[in-house]
């Protein structure tokens, strides 16, 4: 894939290396690595679904700290408006905008993308982060966690891909370590997170081979301290699988619980490292931010 995408990302000339989990740091002219945390996203525009709280909210804050403008797309009006007020106070009015939207409503999601471009003039970075954990209403879980990630990726490409005459950009789809270490506690959630990885890898190949100028990567956090994690014991969410909650809690105790800013740091690396396309980033307490090694021919 040729270089040239926007959003701090270029092409993915090192696609194969990225898929094997090998990354190269962005370089200064003298050859030394530039810490991604100090690289600027001034002039870039991001859209984050599920951005009003939890992991999405941490991502929004990191993007704003890096000087990007951000559309916070979220279903929850109350939390979204509180979030907007706090972001205005911290970063100044006009740097971010809250757009209430249910990502499972295709027309509403399309409208949210258009409103972002209308307000900020362009789009460079899309984080398909909104997710739920509802085994009782499992069809909804598939709609939010997988169908809407696919839809969000296609809409992002309409606004960023060279195929559509745009300047390029970068997309992050949020999966989970649940795709690698499953639990009887959340079968459909697990299935959606597998799906997000498969879709993202295939789309990253399409982007590289057809020169979209857009890098597409997937992020798999382990347990993170957010409101979602607190639904573990909730029968309304887990349905009959709630009986496996103790096993799940044991896993949390064994593997530990991460804080959202570390997940945002991982996202910033995916955004800023032009060598990454089709990469599967894992974040765990034991290993921190690292990459999954892909061995497609191992069978």
Ligand X SMILES: CC/C=C\C[C@H](O)[C@H](O)/C=C/C=C/C=C\C=C\C(=O)C/C=C\CCC(=O)O
Ligand Y SMILES: NC(=O)C1=CN([C@@H]2O[C@H](COP(=O)(O)OP(=O)(O)OC[C@H]3O[C@@H](n4cnc5c(N)ncnc54)[C@H](O)[C@@H]3O)[C@@H](O)[C@H]2O)C=CC1
Q: Please report, as ranges, the residues that interact with ligand Y according to CB under 6 A.
A: 49-50, 52-56, 74-76, 79, 101-104, 129-132, 144, 174, 176, 221, 223-224, 226-229
Q: Burial of 157 by CB count in 10 Å (0-12 exposed, 13-18 middle, 19+ buried)?
A: buried
Residue 12 interacting partner from ligand X, ligand Y, none (CB closer than 5 to 8 Å by kind): none
Whichever of 75 and 238 has its CB closer to ligand Y, that residue is: 75
Q: What gap in Å lies between CA 113 and CA 266, rounded to an integer?
A: 24
Q: What gap in Å lies between CA 225 and CA 202, rounded to an integer?
A: 30
Residue 76 interacting partner from ligand X, ligand Y, none (CB closer than 5 to 8 Å by kind): ligand Y
Whichever of 106 and 288 has its CB closer to ligand X, that residue is: 288
Q: What gap in Å lies between CA 113 and CA 49, rounded to an integer?
A: 10
Residue 232 interacting partner from ligand X, ligand Y, none (CB closer than 5 to 8 Å by kind): ligand X
Q: Least distance from C-beta 223 to ligand Y, angstroms?
A: 4
3-state secondary structure 14-26: CHHHHHCCCCCCC
Whichever of 67 and 183 has its CB closer to ligand Y, that residue is: 183
Q: Least distance from C-beta 285 to ligand Y, angstroms?
A: 12
- Residues 290/281, Cβ–Cβ less than 8 Å: yes
Q: Pick the catalytic residue: 164, 189, 212, 294? A: 189
Sole window of 69-77, 98-106, 140-148, 228-236 interacting with ligand X (rule: CB under 6 A) = 228-236
Residue 55: both structure tokens together: 């992991």
Check residue 206 for interaction with ligand X (CB under 6 A). no
Check residue 229 for interaction with ligand X (CB under 6 A). yes
Check residue 189 for interaction with ligand X (CB under 6 A). yes
Whichever of 191 and 224 has its CB closer to ligand Y, that residue is: 224
Whichever of 211 and 255 has its CB closer to ligand X, that residue is: 255
Residue 274 interacting partner from ligand Y, ligand X, none (CB closer than 5 to 8 Å by kind): none
3-state secondary structure 103-115: CCCHHHHHHHHHH
Q: What gap in Å lies between CA 68 and CA 248, rounded to an integer?
A: 37
189 is catalytic: yes
Q: What gap in Å lies between CA 276 and CA 28, rounded to an integer?
A: 17
Residue 147 interacting partner from ligand X, ligand Y, none (CB closer than 5 to 8 Å by kind): none
Q: Least distance from C-beta 157 to ligand Y, angstroms?
A: 20
Q: List contacts with ligand X (CB under 6 A).
A: 133, 176-178, 180-181, 186, 189, 222-223, 228-229, 231-232, 255, 282, 284-287
| Residues identified as active-site | 189
């Amino acid at each position: 894939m040729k270089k040239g995408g926007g959003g701090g990302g270029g092409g993915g000339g090192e696609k194969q290396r990225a898929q094997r989990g090998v990354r190269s740091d962005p370089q200064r002219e003298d050859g030394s690595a530039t810490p991604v945390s100090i690289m600027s996203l001034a002039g870039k525009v991001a859209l984050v679904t599920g951005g009003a709280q939890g992991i999405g909210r941490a991502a929004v804050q990191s993007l704003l700290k890096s000087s990007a403008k951000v559309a916070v797309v979220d279903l929850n009006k109350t939390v979204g408006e509180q979030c907007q007020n706090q972001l205005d106070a911290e970063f100044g009015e006009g740097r971010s905008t809250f757009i209430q939207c249910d990502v499972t409503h295709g027309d509403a999601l399309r409208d949210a993308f258009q409103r972002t471009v209308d307000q900020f003039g362009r789009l460079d970075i899309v984080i398909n982060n909104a997710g739920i954990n509802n085994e009782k209403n499992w069809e909804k879980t598939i709609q939010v966690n997988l169908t809407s990630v696919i839809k969000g990726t296609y809409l992002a490409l309409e606004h960023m891909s060279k195929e559509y005459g745009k300047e390029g950009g970068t997309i992050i789809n949020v999966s989970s370590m649940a795709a690698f270490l499953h639990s009887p506690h959340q079968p459909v959630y697990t299935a959606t997170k597998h799906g997000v990885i498969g879709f993202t890898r295939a789309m990253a190949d399409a982007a590289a081979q057809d020169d979209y100028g857009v890098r597409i990567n997937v992020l798999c956090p382990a347990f993170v301290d957010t409101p979602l994690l607190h639904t573990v014991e909730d029968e309304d969410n887990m349905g009959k699988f709630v009986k496996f909650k103790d096993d799940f809690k044991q896993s949390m105790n064994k593997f530990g619980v991460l804080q959202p800013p570390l997940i945002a740091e991982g996202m910033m690396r995916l955004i800023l490292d032009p060598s990454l396309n089709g990469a599967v980033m894992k974040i765990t307490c034991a290993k921190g931010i690292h990459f999954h090694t892909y061995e497609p021919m191992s069978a």
